[in-house]
């Protein structure tokens, strides 16, 4: 650790923090002063009914501002939630065998459905993934999509294969087409919609008597055996399994995976071991991630400081606040939780893990040899202005301050302390003495978080 640089950065951090109005922690979940955020603030508190009414009032007073879209979405959520509550068993069933498993897969639009069928399904169907799980567990697969797209999934080769697989029941949750209308004043609505789908899958699993729920994206590429290893951790006592979010460029990574497929006789399944997946991740890392590598080759920090990747021997050490919940145990599914129906991170993690020691309740897939899921994304060019040439504390602190207002920094303290090693066995990179090393960076950010108490 560079003590001199660390002390300088901590001093700079304290100056920035002194300019912020750090409210008492007990007040951090209060409503914001901005009227347009009333609905979101109510959702953050888990007050779904009140949020629906607030969005309805806003939509009536300010038409064409996007509030009507939120009203329709969360009114639908409310009705589905009430339906699941009515059919939920009054008493949890005693289990004489392993708890069943649900795979929640939100996907809509022809492009994303085709990607799922071309890449995710073949890797998910490799022998040590879904088929291995189905040998010992009943499996329900919920494809959540808009009604108009359901036939693209239902008539596919892979859907028929799933129907033929013993102990596997695929199904389609058809969402009203009108919920998928975009609006220029509703940014990142698709992420909110995906979060709703995952949350409703959890409620559906609870209504069906409780299940272990995989929360999957439709464009994941899975290494062979990663799903069965994840489920093994829950079966041995963990309540939740997290994985790092690692993006790769779909334009070249997809062709690489399909080349693997074409080289293997005639079977449609794709079996890729985790080391090969690491090589693909390193070779085709998405620009959004590549700019976060702390090295002599790419300057340190993005203005969106989610993960940081430190070159280390044959791969990267990844430190991150963003770790994707991949599997939620049936014990957590059966809890009474005031969900915010947003994406399954942030408030979701804080609520669902309340009162639990993360170190014993949560398993982080902290070694790529345990398995990898790569998140494919379209190639984009990062603008020069989006990458800073130094450790920009103000951007980091403002981002952390946002999470503090959401009341989730306790779980994020733990998340940031976790280490994920992404190994390929092929690369060797060294840091310059002037570069910020891992220990210095972590020490400064942990100091900042400690001030938020």
Give the domain ranges of the chain.
3-30+100-450
**Burial grade of 203 (CB within 10 A; 0-12, 13-18, 19 or more):** buried
Pairing label, strands 307-312, 373-377: unpaired
pLDDT of residue 177: 96
| Residue 387 pLDDT | 53
- Rounded to the nearest angstrom, the gap between the alpha carbon of residue 202 and the centroid of all alpha carbons in its chain is 15
What pLDDT sits at residue 31?
Answer: 40
Alpha-carbon span 275 to 372, nearest angstrom: 9
Residues 6 or more apart in contact with residue 109 via CB below 8 angstroms: 149
The residues of the chain scoring below 70 in pLDDT are 20-37, 91-96, 261-266, 295-306, 321-322, 346, 380-393, 395-396, 398-413, 428-436, 452-453
Using CA atoms, how far residue 84 sits from 125, 279, 291, in Å, is 30, 43, 44
Residue 395: what pLDDT?
63
d(CA 170, CA 130): 12
Token readout for 65 is: 């501002």
Question: Which pair of tokens denotes residue 258?
Answer: 């399909």
| pLDDT for the residue 442 | 77
Strand 315-320 to 420-423 pairing: antiparallel
CB atoms near residue 385 (< 10 Å): 7
Taking only the tens place, the pLDDT of each residue in 418-453 is: 888 888 877 766 666 666 677 887 788 778 777 765
How are beta strands 139-146 and 168-175 bridged, if at all?
Answer: parallel
Identify the pLDDT of residue 285.
85
Coil, helix or strand for 86? helix
| Integer Cα distance of 401 and 8 in angstroms | 21
Residues 6+ apart with CB under 8 A from 86: none
């Amino acid at each position: 650790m560079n003590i001199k640089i660390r002390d300088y950065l901590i001093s700079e951090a304290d100056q920035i923090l002194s300019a912020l109005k750090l409210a008492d922690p007990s007040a951090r979940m209060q409503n914001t002063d901005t009227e347009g955020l009333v609905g979101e603030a109510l959702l953050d508190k888990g007050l779904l009914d009140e949020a629906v009414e607030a969005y309805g009032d806003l939509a009536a007073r300010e038409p064409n501002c996007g509030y009507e879209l939120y009203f329709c979405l969360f009114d639908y959520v409310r009705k589905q939630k009430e339906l699941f509550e009515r059919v939920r068993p009054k008493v949890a069933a005693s289990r004489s065998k392993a708890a069943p498993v649900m795979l929640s897969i939100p996907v809509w639009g022809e492009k994303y459905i085709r990607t799922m069928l071309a890449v995710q399904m073949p890797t998910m169907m490799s022998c040590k993934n879904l088929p291995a799980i189905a040998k010992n567990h009943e499996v329900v697969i919920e494809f959540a999509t808009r009604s108009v797209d359901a036939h693209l999934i239902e008539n596919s080769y892979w859907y028929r294969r799933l129907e033929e697989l013993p102990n596997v029941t695929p199904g389609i949750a058809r969402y009203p087409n009108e919920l998928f209308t975009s609006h220029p004043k509703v940014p990142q609505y698709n992420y909110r919609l995906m979060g709703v789908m995952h949350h409703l899958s959890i409620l559906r699993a609870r209504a069906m008597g409780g299940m272990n729920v995989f929360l999957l994206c439709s464009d994941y590429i899975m290494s062979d055996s990663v799903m069965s290893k994840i489920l093994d951790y829950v079966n041995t006592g963990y309540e939740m399994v997290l994985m790092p979010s690692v993006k790769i460029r779909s334009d070249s990574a997809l062709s690489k995976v399909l080349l693997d497929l074409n080289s293997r006789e005639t079977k449609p399944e794709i079996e890729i071991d985790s080391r090969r997946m690491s090589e693909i991740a390193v070779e085709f890392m998405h620009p959004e991630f590549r700019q976060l590598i702390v090295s002599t080759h790419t300057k340190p920090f993005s203005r969106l400081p989610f993960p940081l990747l430190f070159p280390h021997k044959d791969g990267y050490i990844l430190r991150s606040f963003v770790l994707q919940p991949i599997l939620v145990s049936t014990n957590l599914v059966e809890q009474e939780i005031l969900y915010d129906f947003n994406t399954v991170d942030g408030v979701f993690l804080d609520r669902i893990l309340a009162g639990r020691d993360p170190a014993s309740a949560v398993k982080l897939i902290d070694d790529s040899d345990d398995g990898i899921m790569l998140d494919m994304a379209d190639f984009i060019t990062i603008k020069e202005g989006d990458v800073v040439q130094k450790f920009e504390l103000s951007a980091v602190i403002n981002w952390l301050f946002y999470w503090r207002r959401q009341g989730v920094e306790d779980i994020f303290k733990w998340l940031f302390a976790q280490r994920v090693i992404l190994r390929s066995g092929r690369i060797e990179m060294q840091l310059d003495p002037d570069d910020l090393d891992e220990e210095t960076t972590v020490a400064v950010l942990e100091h900042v978080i400690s001030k938020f108490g």
